[in-house]
Amino acid sequence: MKKCKDFCDQLSDYLDKELGARECVLIQEHLEKCAPCALIFEGLKTTVIVCSEGISDEVPEEVKMRLKEFLRTNCTAE
């Protein structure tokens, strides 16, 4: 079982489609079980879509930081 911290580290790669099929499945399974991660993933996904349409196709550092901060305070599945 993946921990939220590991999940969080891979989330931006997942959104950038830099992960293999196996990692993607693990992340999808985690999203189904972990409400805080699912919530932040939705927010991050929206940000990435906005970025890829405009300024950058990479997840901004600020968003990654916010994601980690959010998980540290909200995620209890660790």
Footprint of Zn ion (CB under 5 A): 4, 34, 37, 75, 77
Of 15 and 37, CB closest to Zn ion:
37
Nearest distance in Å: CB 7, Zn ion: 5
**3-class SS string, the chain:** CCCHHHHHHHHHHHHCCCCCHHHHHHHHHHHHHCHHHHHHHHHHHHHHHHHHHCCCCCCCHHHHHHHHHHHHHHCCCC
Of 28 and 56, CB closest to Zn ion:
28
Of 59 and 75, CB closest to Zn ion:
75
